[in-house]
Copies of this chain bind each other. A is one copy, B any other.
Amino acid sequence: MKALVFLDTNKVGLVGKPIPEPGPWDVVVRTTASSICTSDIHTIAGGIAIPQGRTLGHESVGLVHRVGDKVTGFNEGDRVVVGALTPCGYCDYCQRGHSTQCGGALGGFKWTTQREGNLSEYFVVNDAAYNLTHIPDDVTDEQALYATDVLGTGIAAAQLADIPVGGTVAIIAQGPVGLCATMGARLLGAGLVITTATRPERARLSERFGADVVLNPRRCNVVEEVRALVGPEGVDSAIEALGTHETFEQCVRLIKPGGTVANAGYHGWESQAPLPIPIVSFGMGMNAKTIRGLLAPGGREHLTRMLRLLQTGKVDPTPLTTHRFHFSEVERAFQLMSDKGEKIIKPVITYEEGDL
Contact = CB atoms under 8 A, between A and B. Distances in A.
A20 interface: no
A92 B293 contact: no
Contacts of A263: 285-286
A299 B191 contact: no
Contacts of A94: 89
Contact of A279 (B101, B272, B284): B272
A187 B187 CA distance: 6
A90 B130 contact: yes
Copies of this protein in the assembly total 4
A47 to B, nearest CB: 9
Contact of A243 (B90, B282, B285, B293): B285
Given A95-B89, A192-B312, A257-B104, A293 B289 contact: yes
Contacts of A96: 164, 258, 301
Interface stretch (A303-311, A336-344, A345-353): A303-311
A97 interface: yes
A300 interface: yes
Interface string A270-311: 011111111110111111111111110001111011111101
13 contacts: A92-B304, A97-B97, A101-B283, A104-B233, A105-B287, A166-B309, A166-B314, A191-B309, A267-B279, A277-B277, A287-B295, A289-B293, A291-B291
Interface of A: 24, 89-90, 92-98, 100-101, 104-107, 127, 129-130, 155, 159, 164-168, 186-192, 212, 233, 240, 243, 248-249, 256-258, 263-268, 271-280, 282-295, 299-302, 304-309, 311-312, 314
Given A274-B277, A287-B293, 15 more contacts: A89-B90, A90-B129, A95-B300, A95-B301, A101-B258, A101-B287, A167-B308, A188-B188, A189-B189, A191-B308, A212-B312, A249-B274, A263-B286, A266-B286, A290-B291
